[in-house]
Amino acid sequence: GNSVTQMEGPVTLSEEAFLTINCTYTATGYPSLFWYVQYPGEGLQLLLKATKADDKGSNKGFEATYRKETTSFHLEKGSVQVSDSAVYFCALRYYNNNDMRFGAGTRLTVKP
Amino acid sequence: SQTIHQWPATLVQPVGSPLSLECTVEGTSNPNLYWYRQAAGRGLQLLFYSVGIGQISSEVPQNLSASRPQDRQFILSSKKLLLSDSGFYLCAWSFRTGFGIQYFGAGTRLSVL
């Protein structure tokens, strides 16, 4: 079945460090891919998305490229800030399908 | 614009007591609605989703039930809570068609003691 695998956390970085959170997926066809972010005590917010192969989603300095050849959608940011501390979820879903699959989440802590 | 409201934000309930969590969406019609549970330190587990009034699909058999009495209202219930029902419950909505971006409420933290 369809599934998403994220790198396990927690991840702790110093401010201005480079961030990569790995995400790979298992699916047939061409799902849409998403990154959601959950700040402490809050619900999830969409961070970025990509709907077809080679698309790059970007928002707030974060980027992720839909790589069909490696079935990956790794999240990157060049210079993290303390305010980026949160849990990040990778997810996939097919167009017009109710079934969205989330990864287990990766907790990021950025220290000043 | 669309908004989603979920309440209460925090709830402490004794084992064996009933539960009712409510979620409402404003600014759209005929949304898909979802209930998720997030156990401590774990990912999201889809509990129920609904594509219309009175239409509920259950993903995981358990102690909980869901109802959709109105188009933009989604309720999560239990007759008797278990300790294992503790967790963070999230309601979400999405447009009926499209790429399926889900928009989440702020969540309810439930502690069953």
Distance separating alpha carbons of residues B68 and B66, to the nearest angstrom: 7
**What average pLDDT does range B36-56 have in this prediction?**
87
User: From the CA of A34, how many Å to the nearest CA of chain B?
Assistant: 8
- List C-alpha distances in Å: A88 to A3, A107, B60: 16, 6, 24
User: From the CA of B7, how many Å to the nearest CA of chain A?
Assistant: 12
| Matching residue, tokens 């109802």 | B67
pLDDT in tens, B76-89: 999 999 999 999 99
Instruction: State the pLDDT at residue A86.
Output: 96
Mutation pick from A30, A44, A55 vs chain B, by most beta carbons of B within 10 Å, is: A44
The first and second tokens of residue B6, run together, are 């979920």
How many beta-carbon pairs under 8 angstroms link A with B? 56
pLDDT band at A96 (very low <50, low <70, confident <90, very high): low
Q: Does B43 touch chain A (CB under 8 A)?
A: yes
Chain B residues in contact with A94 by the CB 8 A cut-off are 100
Three-state SS at A74: coil
pLDDT in tens, A3-22: 899 988 899 999 999 999 99
- List C-alpha distances in Å: A46 to A92, A110, B71, B104: 12, 20, 24, 9
| Most confident of the ranges A28-32, A48-52, B43-47 | A48-52
Three-state SS at A101: strand
CB distance B65 to A64 below 8 Å: no
* Alpha helix segments (H runs only) across chain B: none
